[in-house]
Amino acid sequence: MYIKRYSIAAFIWIALVGWYVYAYVTQGSMSIDMFGIPLPSLSVALWVVVPLVILYIASVFHMAFYSMLGNFKLRGYEKDFEKIIDAVIDAYLGKKSRSYSFKTDRYKLLGVMLEKTTLFPTAELIGATGNEKIDKVLKVIEEIKNGEVADLKPFNLLSENPLAIQNEKNRYKKGDVSAADILSNSTKYADELCQFVYTDYVKTASLHNILKYKAFLTKEALHEIMARINSDEHTLSISNEELIELFNKLELSKQDYVDLSITLSKGGMIPEQRMKLFETLGDEREEAMDAYLFTLFDLEMLAPADEILEHSQPDEFQNFKAYRALKECGKNFSIYLFV
């Protein structure tokens, strides 16, 4: 567009200069030798115009060259802008592996920042960005947040992606896929999802299936299993050996063992089995001794509890020693206050 305007102005200027020289300076002709070669005799006005034409042609080539460079640079900015849009989308989707290559310095800075950033959009952003690709992603994210099931195939998310996991949880809650389907095809799903459905699955599953998928056992799931032992609904019969097999799948702290004993105290496990369970656990691992003592005091088995405390170090089991001392003084406090 600018070259066109420049050309029109240049032609007018060249024509005016040629006309002025011809009309007011001279109408004569002359011949010029160039590098020893005599050139045809031409009007002086034409000889004046020739350098102007050469200058015009050179300037047009100059402008065309830099215009082409500017177009390449502008195209680079446009391509980098599209990459930034993709980077924003990947940040919204929470993709772990992200790497972008930008040609322009300004977008390189934004790209580096977005590579290490996860964005958390709000619902107010939907439709406000003016970008169709971003708005589409924002809408999908909002649907998943609201418990709906969205089509994530176009985004190529890994099964471990938080959005993909939540989307599968939504599918499970809606009944589109069962816990058995997920657990039997666990390689297709993230461990977090499998653990989530397993915790729900053990509430009604048979002992055979509980042990079959024990790789996805969590502390919460273990509590659910123990709450079913000899319960009135979905009762579960399980031996101490099988329980210990489940215990061994987890890294449990002292408090975890105590909490598990508390769960059993609220259920229907036979006192003898419960006491034997924690006695065995206490013999195998030090972390379970507090739970064993709690179990003995909770079941009013004072003699074996006293024996353990008598043979313990002065700085061990201070809470249980305090409880025993209060009990000996006729003060009846709940053992639950000491764990």
The sign of the dihedral angle between the CA atoms of 271, 277, 283, 288 is negative
pLDDT, residue 277, reads 93
In degrees rounded to 5, what are phi and psi of residue 94?
Answer: 70, 30
Per-residue pLDDT band for 76 (boundaries 50, 70, 90) equals low
Q: What is the pTM of this model?
A: 0.74
pLDDT, residue 186, reads 92
pLDDT, residue 97, reads 78
Q: Are 282 and 289 in contact (CB under 8 A)?
A: yes
In degrees rounded to 5, what are phi and psi of residue 34?
Answer: -120, 115
Q: What is d(CA 269, CA 237) in angstroms, rounded to the nearest whole number?
A: 9
pLDDT digits (tens, 9 = 90+) for 132-174: 888 888 899 999 999 999 999 998 888 999 999 999 999 999 9
Domain ranges of the chain: 2-93, 120-177
Give the chain's largest Cα–Cα span. Answer: 138
Write out the DSSP string of 94-133.
Answer: T-S------SSHHHHHHHHHHHT------GGGTTTS--HH
Q: Are 287 and 252 in contact (CB under 8 A)?
A: yes
Percent of the residues in the chain that have a pLDDT greater than 90, as a whole number: 37
pLDDT, residue 71, reads 67
Tell me the average pLDDT across 267-281: 90
pLDDT, residue 72, reads 66
Q: Who wins on pLDDT, 105 or 309? A: 309
* Amino acid, res. 57: I
- Taking all residues of the chain, what is their mean pLDDT, rounded to a whole number? 86
Residue 95 has pLDDT above 70, yes or no: yes
- Local structure of residue 309 (DSSP, 8 states): H
Q: What is d(CA 153, CA 157) in angstroms, rounded to the nearest whole number?
A: 7
pLDDT, residue 337, reads 86
pLDDT-wise least confident of 56-70, 152-166, 180-194: 56-70
Tell me whether residue 88 is exposed, middle or buried, using C-beta atoms within 10 angstroms of its C-beta: 0 to 12, 13 to 18, 19 or more.
buried
- Local structure of residue 40 (DSSP, 8 states): P
Q: Who wins on pLDDT, 272 or 40? A: 272
Residue 125 has pLDDT above 80, yes or no: no
Tell me the average pLDDT across 29-36: 69
Percent of the residues in the chain that have a pLDDT greater than 70, as a whole number: 94
pLDDT, residue 207, reads 92
Residue 123 has pLDDT above 80, yes or no: no
pLDDT, residue 6, reads 79
Q: What is d(CA 185, CA 168) in angstroms, rounded to the nearest whole number?
A: 13
The sign of the dihedral angle between the CA atoms of 13, 19, 25, 28 is positive
Please report, to the nearest 10 degrees, the dihedral formed by the alpha carbons of residues 196, 197, 203, 207 taken in order: -110
pLDDT digits (tens, 9 = 90+) for 228-249: 998 888 888 999 999 999 999 9
Tell me the average pLDDT across 199-214: 94
Q: Are 55 and 13 in contact (CB under 8 A)?
A: no
Per-residue pLDDT band for 224 (boundaries 50, 70, 90) equals very high
Residue 36 has pLDDT above 80, yes or no: no
Tell me the average pLDDT across 250-259: 93
